[in-house]
Structure 1
């Protein structure tokens, strides 16, 4: 029988990473290196998440979908995506500024890479006082002006700056120029895609002294050059009430802060559900006498066949609830 599934995080060492995700690794060599990303649940080829606990431990996500199909991901989801898991769930720790980049949409990604595009959202788990994001252009521009700024290393002058704090939320459609700034710890929900066009990297060098590859020509063809100053998601946090953050063609993400028992009925959605625990500790009761514990920083996948569950907090807890709407 299926049960709520936890996976071994896939940790990515980067030149801009920090130390906040090191606790997720049992490898001391990895812990001592800057970790930029923790891929919590991934169906990306060569980066398949592997179950860490219970009878299905050791199986990867693709193997599970092959066996359990709609019982795991939902009949509608399985019919559309087959054995490819449609979302990539991450934590990102930016100890330095990330490169300025853009992602293609489905049509261009399919044509160029035989892959899905990348629309994503960010939830700010924590942020330093000076933390910021770059999101879209601060005025209407065009290809000529953009390339001129790029050539003269002044591209940031064209970009919209968002100062951020814990709890802020942003939606980033494919085609939006963006960058995560130093001091941000972010939960990222995105389409299953690892296609990134790097536009500008502040003239940094990698550990071997080489400039990182840029994708100027590929990126220019996918960029939306219109003014984009409203990416922030405005929501109200009402205790013990689920609040919708983002609902798009690719995913729905909700926020829930709770300090009492919460019943969840997923009968109507026909999809897997993912919880990212942002704060606190709680139990997921999925059968009369079966439960699994969650704590801050953990992520779990609820199979589509588990349609009625209860969340029992040991103390006030906060989660992101994610599914295919």
Structure 2
């Protein structure tokens, strides 16, 4: 394998979903014949869904192979000590033509015990939203286990969850244990721990083409809830141009908003890889005079070994992520 690292792009892994639509094709230019594309996994190390490099001399190699070969040079020495040959983040674009199921995710302890997995702390950045679209995040009142179970049993769960009208740029931090759902008409960028563990508690009573309802996980979910979470899920952040504006910082990832209208000289001081998701416009990532383009709907991984680089654009909005 070529031993020189450079800005890496990967083939998107597209997921057909009962609630998916066409925006990942029409707005983000994903190529697919799938009828209902719900998710584009941009960078994934989930078992069975490992990303494959799409550019440069490492094209055709998997993220898993890169980790095993480059180790700390790819993800940072401190990250390699913690995660070994496991990439810590799963990066997605999601298009909800219909409401997603109302759900929550377990914490690290529960996920490890039950599923040999990480937990699933995540965040959403809204790329597009139809008029009057909503997200469900948290409850609209103080909640107890007993009150929740009563509404679940009486099929009145939608009376107690919080509906938030959403617009482009709205950002949400979804901690483990918090009830949530992406609403119909919303497209988001999602940054999360590497985990595909979801506890579905209500799926709008819908059925698939064969008349079957999707499995619910209420027995597992009840122990995963944190009913005492504060309403701190809406993220306020600055949009100052040509600098990294921190949006979310937690033990699992830090994400910043970067509006680029000129050439920025950047330095990676984090002992971590950097991920750039382009959510508007296009840009060039330049390393040692060599340029890699990134446009709306594309994602790029900058290995930790690359410390000095430039971002050049007149019109790009990027999400910048590191661990």
TM-score bracket, shorter-length normalisation: over 0.9
Matches within 5 A, 1:298-309: 298-309=298-309
The structure-2 alpha-carbon separation of the partners of 1:220 and 1:91, relative to structure 1 and needing over 3 Å to count, comes to: same
* Secondary structure of 1:107's aligned partner: helix
Among 3, 7, 10, the residue aligned to 1:4: 7
Among 17, 21, 26, the residue aligned to 1:18: 21
Q: Structure 1 CA distance, aligned partners of 2:311 and 2:179?
A: 38
Q: Which residue of 2 aligns with 1:96?
A: 98
- How far is the alpha carbon of 1:160 from its aligned partner? 1.4
Confirm or deny: 8 A CA contact 2:178 2:229 kept in the other structure: no
TM-score by length of 1: 0.96
Q: Which residue of 2 aligns with 1:236?
A: 238
Confirm or deny: 8 A CA contact 1:131 1:164 kept in the other structure: yes
- How far is the alpha carbon of 1:282 from its aligned partner? 1.4
Confirm or deny: 8 A CA contact 1:205 1:211 kept in the other structure: yes
Q: Structure 2 CA distance, aligned partners of 1:21 and 1:111?
A: 35
Q: Structure 1 CA distance, aligned partners of 2:153 and 2:22?
A: 34
Asked if 1:42 is matched to 2:44, the reply is yes
Q: Which residue of 2 aligns with 1:278?
A: 279
* Secondary structure of 1:174's aligned partner: coil
The structure-2 alpha-carbon separation of the partners of 1:85 and 1:97, relative to structure 1 and needing over 3 Å to count, comes to: same
Q: Structure 2 CA distance, aligned partners of 1:146 and 1:280?
A: 43
TM-score by length of 2: 0.96
Report the RMSD for the aligned CA atoms in angstroms. 1.1
The structure-2 alpha-carbon separation of the partners of 1:26 and 1:168, relative to structure 1 and needing over 3 Å to count, comes to: closer
* Secondary structure of 1:104's aligned partner: coil
Among 119, 122, 125, the residue aligned to 1:120: 122
Gaps of 5+ in 2: none
Confirm or deny: 8 A CA contact 2:237 2:245 kept in the other structure: yes
* Secondary structure of 2:92's aligned partner: strand
Matches within 5 A, 1:1-325: 1-22=4-25, 24-27=29-32, 29-30=33-34, 33-226=35-228, 228-266=230-268, 268-287=269-288, 289-313=289-313, 315-324=314-323
Confirm or deny: 8 A CA contact 1:160 1:228 kept in the other structure: no
